[in-house]
Amino acid sequence: MKCIKAIKGTKHTEVGEIRRVDNEEADLKVSSGLWKFIPKVEWKEATRKPVEQPKEEIVENGQTIAQKQLNKKKKSK
């Protein structure tokens, strides 16, 4: 499997369209000059939703909840 990206538009594809196809099909499309090979990472970024990082809430004394929990663990030891 290889990842390819359209570099020229046609009636079937738009410029920038990304596909993951088998090796033979990818080689044929790239040799036509309408597509180019791209890294798999670029394909993953285009097809997957970004993961949102949880936001830390600031509590008393300018500490986050995670910092406050660590301090409690340290004091209990």
Rounded to two decimals, the pTM is: 0.62
Tokens of 45: 């970024």
Q: How far apart are CA 65 and CA 1, in angstroms?
A: 45
Residue 67 domain flag: no
Q: How far apart are CA 49 and CA 45, in angstroms?
A: 8
Q: How far apart are CA 8 and CA 28, in angstroms?
A: 15
Residue 68 domain flag: no
Radius of gyration of the chain (CA): 24
Write out the residue range of the structural domain in which residue 20 sits: 1-49
The whole-number pLDDT of residue 76 equals 75
Q: Which of 1, 2, 4 is nearest to 16 (CA)?
A: 4
The whole-number pLDDT of residue 77 equals 64
Total domains present in the chain: 1
The whole-number pLDDT of residue 72 equals 81
Residue 73 domain flag: no
Residue 55 domain flag: no
> 34-45, pLDDT tens digit by residue?
999 999 999 999
> 7-62, pLDDT tens digit by residue?
999 999 999 999 999 999 999 999 999 999 999 999 999 999 877 776 666 666 66
Residue 58 domain flag: no
